[in-house]
Amino acid sequence: MPTSAIRLVRLTGHLLLALAAVATLGVVFLALIVLTDGAGSGLAAWLTTLGAGAVLAMWRGWRRTWPARLVPFLPVVVAAALTAAVCVPTVPTARRYPPALPFVATQHWSLATGSRVAVYHYPPANAGTRHALPFVYLNGGPVRGISVLDHRFLQLLARQGYDVYTYEQAGGGRSGLLPMGQYTISRSVRDLAAFVDRLGRGKVDILGFSSGGTVLTRALADPGVAAHVHRAIIAEPGPMDGPTARIAGHQGRKSAKGLAPDMAGPRSTQVPRYAVAFGLMRLGLLTPENGLVGQAEGDNAFTAADLGGDTASAYCARDAHRIPAEDTAQNFSFSSAASLRVQQTVKDSPSRAPLLRQSRTPAMLMIAECSSQVRQWETAVLANDPAIQRTQYMPGVGHHMWNGLDGNNDRAAAVITAFLQDKPAPLPNYPTRGEIPAFLRDHE
Beta-carbon-side half-sphere exposure of residue 161 (alpha carbons within 13 Å): 12
Measure the CA–CA gap between 142 and 126, rounded to whole angstroms.
32
Phi, psi of 242 (to 5 degrees): -60, -50
- Both 309 and 366 in one domain: the answer is yes
> Does residue 117 form part of some domain?
yes
Measure the CA–CA gap between 376 and 240, rounded to whole angstroms.
11
SS3 content of the chain, % helix, strand, coil (to 5): 45, 15, 40
| pLDDT band at residue 78 using 50, 70 and 90 as cut-offs | confident
- Both 214 and 336 in one domain: the answer is yes
Quick: pLDDT tens for 257-293. Answer: 999 998 888 899 899 999 999 999 999 999 999 999 9
Q: Is the pLDDT of residue 16 over 80?
A: no
Lowest mean per-residue pLDDT among 51-65, 202-216, 235-249: 51-65
Please report the pLDDT score of residue 105 as a whole number: 97
Burial class for 317, CB neighbours closer than 10 Å (0-12, 13-18, 19+): middle
- Both 165 and 73 in one domain: the answer is no
3-class secondary structure, 392: strand
Is pTM, for the whole model, over 0.75? yes
> Does residue 436 form part of some domain?
yes
Give the residue numbers spanning the domain of 50: 3-87
Number of H helices, E strands in the chain: 17, 8
Q: Which residue has the higher pLDDT, 350 or 59?
A: 350
**Single-letter amino acid code for the residue at 20:** A
- Both 29 and 146 in one domain: the answer is no
> Does residue 100 form part of some domain?
no
Q: Is the pLDDT of residue 113 over 70?
A: yes
- Both 74 and 216 in one domain: the answer is no
Share of the chain above pLDDT 90, in %: 80
Please report the pLDDT score of residue 301 as a whole number: 96
DSSP states of 144-161 = BPPPHHHHHHHHHHHHTT
Mean pLDDT, to the nearest integer, of 27-52?
Answer: 93
Q: What is the DSSP letter of 391?
A: E
In 169-222, beta strands by DSSP E: 204-209
Measure the CA–CA gap between 275 and 174, rounded to whole angstroms.
25
3-class secondary structure, 20: helix
| pLDDT band at residue 56 using 50, 70 and 90 as cut-offs | confident
Q: What is the mean pLDDT of the chain?
A: 92
The answer to whether the beta carbons of residues 401 and 408 sit under 8 Å apart is: yes
- Both 188 and 68 in one domain: the answer is no
Last residue of a domain, one of 87, 119, 142: 87
Please report the pLDDT score of residue 57 as a whole number: 67
> Does residue 97 form part of some domain?
no
Domain of 369, CATH number, reads: 3.40.50.1820
How far is C-alpha 129 from the geometric centre of its chain's CA atoms?
36
Q: Is the pLDDT of residue 70 over 90?
A: no
As a whole number of Å, the CA-based R_g of the chain is 26
> Does residue 54 form part of some domain?
yes
Please report the pLDDT score of residue 263 as a whole number: 86
> Does residue 99 form part of some domain?
no
Please report the pLDDT score of residue 77 as a whole number: 84
Measure the CA–CA gap between 27 and 23, rounded to whole angstroms.
6
Quick: pLDDT tens for 184-238. Answer: 999 999 999 999 999 999 999 999 999 999 999 999 999 999 999 999 999 999 9
Please report the pLDDT score of residue 248 as a whole number: 85
- Both 214 and 316 in one domain: the answer is yes
From the list 210, 150, 203, the residue with the least C-alpha distance to 362 is: 203
- Both 82 and 173 in one domain: the answer is no
- Both 115 and 28 in one domain: the answer is no
Share of the chain above pLDDT 70, in %: 92
Mean pLDDT, to the nearest integer, of 329-345?
Answer: 96
- Both 382 and 315 in one domain: the answer is yes
| Torsion of the alpha carbons at 372, 412, 122 and 138, rounded to the nearest 10 | -30
> Does residue 83 form part of some domain?
yes
> Does residue 102 form part of some domain?
no
The answer to whether the beta carbons of residues 49 and 76 sit under 8 Å apart is: no
| pLDDT band at residue 69 using 50, 70 and 90 as cut-offs | low
Number of domains comprising the chain: 2
DSSP states of 259-317 = TSPPPPS--GGGSHHHHHHHHHHHTTSS-TT-SSS-HHHHHHH--GGGGTHHHHTTSBG
Phi, psi of 407 (to 5 degrees): 75, 15
The answer to whether the beta carbons of residues 90 and 271 sit under 8 Å apart is: yes
From the list 132, 123, 243, 119, the residue with the least C-alpha distance to 192 is: 119
The answer to whether the beta carbons of residues 216 and 232 sit under 8 Å apart is: yes
3-class secondary structure, 233: strand
- Both 383 and 308 in one domain: the answer is yes
From the list 218, 205, 210, 209, the residue with the least C-alpha distance to 422 is: 205
Q: Is the pLDDT of residue 302 over 60?
A: yes
Please report the pLDDT score of residue 210 as a whole number: 97
- Both 154 and 220 in one domain: the answer is yes
H or E element in which residue 211 lies: helix 211-220
The answer to whether the beta carbons of residues 241 and 343 sit under 8 Å apart is: no
Burial class for 51, CB neighbours closer than 10 Å (0-12, 13-18, 19+): exposed
